[in-house]
Structure 1
Amino acid sequence: MTIVGWFNKLRGHQASGGEPDGFDAAPKILEPTVLSLPSSGFTSQETTPPYTPKTEIASPFDSQDTLGLGLEKRPEFGRLASWRGSLILLVTSGSQFLDNVFMTSANMALSSIQKEFDVNSGNLQWMISAYTLAFGGFLLLAGVVSDRYGRKNILCGGLFWLSIWTLVIGFGHTFIQICIFRGLQGIGAAMTVPSAIGIISSYFTGTDRTRALSIYAASGTLGFCAGLIFGGFLTSSLGWRYIFYIIVIITGSLCILGTIVLPKDVFSEKKKVKMDYIGALLSTAGLILLQFVLSGGGVYGWGQPFIIALLIVCVAMLVGFVVLEKYISNPIMPLSLWKLRNFAGLWIAGFTGYGSYQNVIYYIVLMAQQVDKLSAGDTAIRFLPMGAIGFIVSMGTGKLLEYMNGKHLLLIGMALAVLAPVPSSLTASPDTSFWVNVLPTSLISISAVSLIFVTTTTVILTSVPVSIKSLCGGMLNTAFQIGSGFALAISAAVTEEVDIKKGHGLAQQYSTGLWCSAGLAGLGLIAALIAVRRKGIGPQDRLGGEPVAL
């Protein structure tokens, strides 16, 4: 059959509602397009009016266009209510779940690790900080690399890298080795987050995308709680090393499954641009140094000369990065991104809301174990309601976003974040029990962060072109990580001056740290009221299709 005859047959099948031979995919809904991205920035959500959704069969030709007809393969789209869609969501959400499990399960093992390696309290926190430093520092770079070199490649590569170093941690012989391996593990975790977000946002559309992002966010909050529970049980029974022995089985399985089911990356010759290596170096090194200073300032003292010197260096690096991105022709972070409606406000809300939450968790876990005198296993059991509430609220938030404006849900979340530390702050005392001084705060705080996490993630990722979704996912998660370090640094400094130097007890110290969490969340609430507008983040804006960069 000639090519002309083939296309006539194709038109006939489309007109009659059927599918041509050789097509096994459902008709694809084409989405509105946006103006091309200039090399130094981009234009957001400028659709070609008037917009009328069309139904069209995807091209059968490869992106290489072997027949010379000028056709190019489009990215794959799919439905959540299908076997492949469910498996894709399992891999992406599973990676988010595990990233948070790794972050919190180690908290429950700190006492055991301290005893085994005879580590002093000042150095013990590097077991946690090594992971968060690498994780937060590489998120932006991982987002850029995912968008440019393939989200499937980076996600599967990250899971493979994560599996290697997770197993190695379990066989570590010294505390220094474990800290180094934890840092390398954090790099793998950073590779999985932006790539997973990009895959979800580009593969699913409309209501499916909103629900998939909600499940992804719910897996994060559930993973955070599961890490506390899982780490507590294993530490109390088999030993802390089994945390890593068992989890590596899951990461390896997700890596294999991802290579099979994840959609193939579609590359266009037109989009090949030179990588901004200098910008990548400045941003990654600057973010790692910033988090090191935020973590180390509270441990070694903000007046230490090396802390001050490192702070100056990291500020210079980040300022240099911003200046470079303004003038370079191929920026890894276009500054025009910050001009998008609500982007800056949502970023600040994520920074303050998630930072406040992590600070609350840090102090209530310490309160449960050191004030209420609970073992790791007993603490894990008592945090079970927190995990259940987190999952329910996250899923409920995704459903509410289909009917409510995103700003309203965000403000509710920020208000709860302000309220969450108050019960524990007021009742912090050796005379009270976990059910009084920890449980209420844990339930309110997980509800608050679920609302904030789901809302900010969903709204931001449905407001930007498909070509930079992984970058934006990396930037949002960078806000979460820096916010966490900032909150801990501020509360540690305040607690040092207000309580530790005056000889106050642990309960009073933790109460002060929790009040700092409420203050940070209050600043975020004010910023959300002022900087986030209702326009552009309603249900009709998210469910009506998403702009795709040409």
Structure 2
Amino acid sequence: MDAKDAPRAGEVALSGATGRRVLFATVLGSSMVLLDGTAVNVALPRIGADLDSDLAGLQWAVNAYLLTLAGLILLGGSLGDRYGRRRVFVIGVLWFAVSSAMCGLAPSAPLLVGARGLQGVGGALLTPGSLAIIQAVFRPQDRAAAVGTWAGLGGVAGAVGPLLGGWLAGGPGWRWVFLINLPLAALTVLVAVRDVPENRDEAASGRFDVPGAVLAALSLCSLTYALTAATTQPFAALVTGAAAVLLGAAFVVAERRSPRPMVPLGLFKVRLFSYTNVVTVLIYGALAAVSFFLVLQLQTTAGFSPLVAGLALLPLTLLMLAFSSRAARLGKRIGPHVPLTAGPVLAAVGVLLMLRIGPDASYFADVLPAGIGLGAGMTLLVAPLTATVLDSVDVGRAGTASGINNAAARTGGLVSVAAIPSVVGLSGDEYRSPADVDAAFHGAMLTCAGLLAMAAVTAWLFVRTAAPAPETVDAVCRSCSLSAPPPAAEREKPGGGT
């Protein structure tokens, strides 16, 4: 097809060949991030054994990725708006592929951690771009269907991730959890360069909030180090903790002074927006810690293979795939107050059922019921949570609000994976001891249930609003990421723009 005959941004039909290829490229690109976010956890015990890593190394293998992803994802969206969404998306995919190769070839835990941090940068570039391309490229009448398809297939990737990670870790080896991204990235880039029309926000101007992004990343990095080293290096943890506070204060000052802040602090004057983000941090902090500790308990204490351990959270993703749209309609009908209160309570019951998982655990008697309980709670709350965030702000700031909520969830996971092992007394090489892991697992599940209970109380007391607007509910993606709420498409602005 000649360039002059190629469909332009905003004119691509979902039913056409170009539309299908655009959707294929965006789904495949974002699926790499979803797969990596869920598959790596299942491989952690094998990674630790192969690289002779202590627990802190495994924590950083998870958190280095979350750190750069959470700290830069808002900046990644802005770069796409300014310099071209396809261009930044392709750069993000290539960056993700190169850093995945570095992860797969890493000879030591420190080098793996560094590569994981670089991988998060690639994820921050490609993740916002995948949905932004759909919003900008497809015809207005096709956007809702395209977003729904993108989200549904992303949910499938989230469901497949733990199984794929378990199969690779137990078969070809954990390095293939990362190396599998290389052919996926090559195919994504090939299709994106050939078929995705370039598009950008012509109104985007002014400087990027680079100081804000740097200060946010440094503050989160210092906080993560302080929490991770709290039991093994208390003095260093104290120093870096103080540095995290100072850097966080500097970030707030920088955002107040910036003409185009990465995080507009004025949004937090909206009580509903602020409290919904508190609920988000608590819920996704608990979920990240459950995912981290569960694979250790299943493989180290219960003796499950990585593949069977990967089945543990499958009920959660399947339930979300099957019933999230119904939960969204329920939230639309009755408002978010009940779903955001009952959902964390149900999830907490599922987490408490995990206390039954021990040395002689059965998948069907002990693991499956807990996974169903956790999945039922998350299914009930995820769509109303995202819709409430969007509905708490004006239409023009919906995209920013969604991005902040997504970053808040990843930050909650980052902090919990860094802090809870210290809270329950697991450190060093103890993750290889069934008795030590079992004791820590029970403490961690009680802690996570407490976080979910705090989320339920916060929602009950402070998240009181009318049912979200129908267009807000329709914008919520039916994705099943375990690390963050589904990014939501922006609602259309008056006049039909996006």
TM interval, short-chain normalised:
0.7 to 0.9
CA distance in 2, matches of 1:24, 1:506: 57
With over 3 angstroms needed to count, the CA separation of the structure-2 counterparts of 1:411 and 1:124, relative to structure 1, is closer
Say yes or no: does 1:137 pair with 2:68: no
Alignment of 1:367-446 (within 5 A): 367-381=297-311, 384-397=314-327, 405-425=335-355, 427-446=356-375
Change (3 A) 1:149 1:390: same
SS of residue paired to 1:342: helix
> Partner of 2:218 in structure 1?
285
Structure 1, unmatched stretches of 5+, are 1-21, 26-59, 61-74
Return the alpha-carbon distance in structure 2 between the equivalents of residues 92 and 294 of structure 1.
36
The corresponding residue for 1:529 is 460
1:540 Cα deviation after fit:
5.7
Q: Is the 8 A contact 2:45 2:299 kept in 1?
A: no
What's the offset of the Cα at 1:487? 2.6
Instruction: Report the CA distance between 1:517 and its aligned residue.
Output: 0.9
C-alpha distance in 1 between matches for 2:132 and 2:462? 25
**What is the rounded CA distance, in whole Å, between the counterparts of 2:337 and 2:115 in structure 1?**
40
Whose helix fraction is larger, Structure 1's or Structure 2's? 2
- TM-superposed CA distance for 1:528, in Å, is 2.0
**Partner SS, residue 230 of structure 2:** helix
Query: Paired residue for 1:511, among 442, 463, 487?
Result: 442
- For 2:146 and 2:390, locate their aligned partners in 1 and report how far apart those are by CA, in whole Å: 12
Deviation per CA, 1:375-398, whole angstroms, max 9, x where unpaired?
213323565544433422345445
CA separation in 2, counterparts of 1:529 and 1:511? 27
Structure 2 Cα separation of the partners of residues 85 and 396 of structure 1: 27
Q: Residue 487 of structure 1 aligns with which residue?
A: 416
Q: Which amino acid aligns with 2:323?
A: V
TM-score where L is the length of structure 2: 0.81
**Partner Cα separation in structure 2 for residue 483 and residue 224 of structure 1:** 19
Residue pair 2:64, 2:117 contacting (<8 A) in 1 also: yes
Q: Distance in 1 between matches of 2:391 and 2:26?
A: 17
Larger Rg: 1
Q: 1:129 to 1:266 in 2, by over 3 A?
A: closer
Distance of aligned partners of 1:350 and 1:261 in 2 relative to their CA distance in 1, 3 Å threshold: farther
Q: Residue 448 of structure 1 is aligned with which of 370, 377, 384? A: 377
**1:155 paired to 2:124:** no
Which sits farther off after the overlay, 98-107 or 257-266? 257-266
2:105 counterpart letter in structure 1: F
Amino acid at match of 1:307: A
**Which amino acid is the alignment partner of residue 345 of structure 2?**
A
Gaps spanning 5+ residues in structure 2: where? 476-490
Identical pairs, percent: 24
The answer for the alignment partner of 1:547 in structure 2 is: 493
CA distance in 2 between partners of 1:254 and 1:368 (Å): 35
- State the match for 1:17 in structure 2: none
Q: Which deviates the most, 338-347 or 349-358?
A: 338-347
Further displaced range: 160-169 or 403-412: 403-412
User: Which of these residues, 383, 386, 389, is aligned with residue 457 of structure 1?
Assistant: 386
Amino acid at match of 2:446: W
After superposition, give the CA deviation of every residue in 1:37-89 in whole Å (9 maximum; x if it has no partner).
Answer: xxxxxxxxxxxxxxxxxxxxxxx9xxxxxxxxxxxxxx727666665555444
> Match of 2:30?
96
| Distance in 2 separating the partners of 1:189 and 1:479 | 16
Once the two structures are superposed, residues 182-219 of structure 1 have per-residue CA deviations (whole angstroms, 9 ceiling, x without a partner) of: 21111101222233344445567999766655555555
Q: Name the residue aligned to 1:349.
A: 279
Q: How far apart in 2 are the matches of 1:169 and 1:193?
A: 19
Corresponding residue number in structure 1 for 2:267: 337
* Number of aligned residue pairs: 472
Q: How does 1:175-254 map to 2 (within 5 A)?
A: 175-200=109-134, 216=150, 218=152, 222-254=156-188
Matched with 1:313 is 243
C-alpha distance in 2 between matches for 1:125 and 1:436: 29
Q: Which TM-score applies when normalising by structure 1?
A: 0.74
Q: CA deviation at 1:122?
A: 4.1
Cα 1:323–1:402 change in 2 (3 A) is same
State which drifts further: 120-129 or 322-331. 120-129
Contact map agreement 2:72 2:213 (CA 8 A) in 1: no
8 A Cα contact 2:391 2:469, kept in partner: no
Counting only pairs closer than 5 Å after superposition, residues 64-143 of structure 1 correspond to structure 2 as 76=10, 84-143=18-77
